[in-house]
Amino acid sequence: MSKHVRDLLFEFEVQSEVEEHFRLHVLKVTLNENGEAEEYGNALPVTKIEIDSEDKECLLHFDEHSTDCVTITEAKAMLTDEVLGYEVFAAEEKELDDSHVRLDTPLIGFGENAELNCFFVVCQG
């Protein structure tokens, strides 16, 4: 059920409300016993996009303390034809017991909020 770069680019194109200046955010959700998604906190800004050619992954780094945010225009510039088949992950860095770890979570969906000028990638929290 995970998403690939081609899925992300397709969503940018088919969502008529999504404009080039929209900011990219990660929205964590949990799935209840009925399989319905429920928000798990606030959407957090994607601060950078990393392309991992070795593992064929696209990592959308996000951080709750950052004011930087990637726009749709910036994302499209990085997501070229060469990476269309790469799997997309939300990547969060955490500090645990004096060490840094990165938690990569596959995307399960997309959404947008035209009023806030945001496009959301959705992952399980």
Over residues 17-45, the mean pLDDT reads: 84
In this predicted structure, the answer to whether residue 62 has a pLDDT above a threshold of 70 is yes
Neighbours of 77 (CB within 10 A): 11
**pTM of the model as a whole:** 0.88
Would you say residue 73 has pLDDT above 70?
Answer: yes
Strand 87-96 to 37-39 pairing: unpaired
How far is the CA of 71 from the CAs of 20, 51, 56, 100, 109, in angstroms? 7, 16, 22, 27, 18
Task: State the pLDDT at residue 1.
Answer: 65
Cβ within 8 Å of residue 79, ≥6 positions away: 5, 8, 9, 49, 58
pLDDT digits (tens, 9 = 90+) for 41-51: 788 999 999 99
